[in-house]
Amino acid sequence: MSKAELIFGMHAVESLLQNAPHRFIEVFCLKGRNDERLNKIVSQLRKQGVSIQFCQRKALDDKAAGEQHQGIVARVQAAPALTENDLYEILDKLNRPAFLLVLDGVTDPHNIGACLRTADAAGVDALIVPKDKSAGLTGVAKKVACGAAESVPFIQVTNLARTLRDIQQKGVWVVGTAGEATQTLYQASLDGPIALVMGAEGSGMRRLTRETCDELIAIPMAGQVSSLNVSVATGVTLFEIKRQRELKSAV
C-alpha cells in the first residue's frame, strides 16, 4: 500500500484533481469560508466520491504546519518516487532535444517549488535532484509549484555526478552555472540537448558536479548585488535556453 502525504493550496489540489483524482483519500476545508473557487473544487471532489471534512482555522493551520493553505488541505496517496531509471526512460522516449534542469544542493522547498513552476513554463522534460542534501517534493514545494509538480517529472538520484555522466553518454550537454565562469549565458550556444545545473545559493555546485559539467556559464550582473536567488537565476537561464532553442527550430 502506498504511503500517504499532505498537499495544500488550491493550485496543488486542482492539479491533482485534473491529473490523478484517484489519489485523494480525504480532504479538509475551512469551515464557513464562502469562496467560489474553493466551492467549485469541493463540488468536483464530491463528484469523485472524496470524503470532505470542514475544520476550524487552527485545525487546518496545524495540518499545513503553519504554511498558507488557502482553506484546503488534502491527504493523498503519495506518488511513486522517480529514479535514474525513470529519467533514462524519459530520455529514450523523447522525439526532440532533451531539456533538463538539475538542482544541486538546493534545500529550501520554496525554491524547489518555484523552480518546478518555472521549469513547467519553460518546457523542461524533467527536474533532477540528489537524494541527499536536497529538499524533496514536500507539500510546501507542491503548493509553491502551483500544479507543476504534477506535470514535470521530479527525479531523485543516488549519485548525481554519475547520473550526469550517464546522460552525457546519451548526447546531453551538461551546463553548470558559476559566478566566476568566463562565458555568459548570452555568449554560450544552448540550443541542443541540454541539462542545466544550478547550485545552492552561496556554496554553488559541489566539486564533483562542477567537474562533470561540459561547460560553465554565468549570468552577467550589472548591479551591486553579487548573486540572485536560485529560483530567479533558474528562470533567467531556462528562458534564455528556451529562446535559443526556438530560434534554432524556426530556421
* Segment 156-186, tens digit of pLDDT: 999 999 999 999 999 999 999 988 888 999 9
What are the residue boundaries of the structural domains of the chain, listed by start?
4-77, 84-250
Band of pLDDT at residue 1, cut at 50, 70 and 90: very low
- According to CATH, the superfamily of the domain at 84-250 is SPOUT methyltransferase, trefoil knot domain (3.40.1280.10)
Q: Is 155 annotated as contributing to ligand binding?
A: no
Q: What average pLDDT does range 52-72 have in this prediction?
A: 89
Q: Is 217 annotated as contributing to ligand binding?
A: no
Work out the percent of the chain whose per-residue pLDDT is above 90: 70
- According to CATH, the superfamily of the domain at 4-77 is Ribosomal protein L30/S12 (3.30.1330.30)
Res 194 pLDDT > 80? yes
The predicted pLDDT at position 49 comes to: 93
Q: Is 66 annotated as contributing to ligand binding?
A: no
> 59 CB contacts (<8 Å, ≥6 apart)?
28
Secondary structure tally for the chain: helices H, strands E = 9, 10
- Separation CA 4–CA 111 (nearest Å): 23
* Cβ–Cβ under 8 Å, residues 12 and 143: yes
Res 73 pLDDT > 60? yes
198's enclosing H/E stretch is strand 194-199
> 42 CB contacts (<8 Å, ≥6 apart)?
27, 29, 52
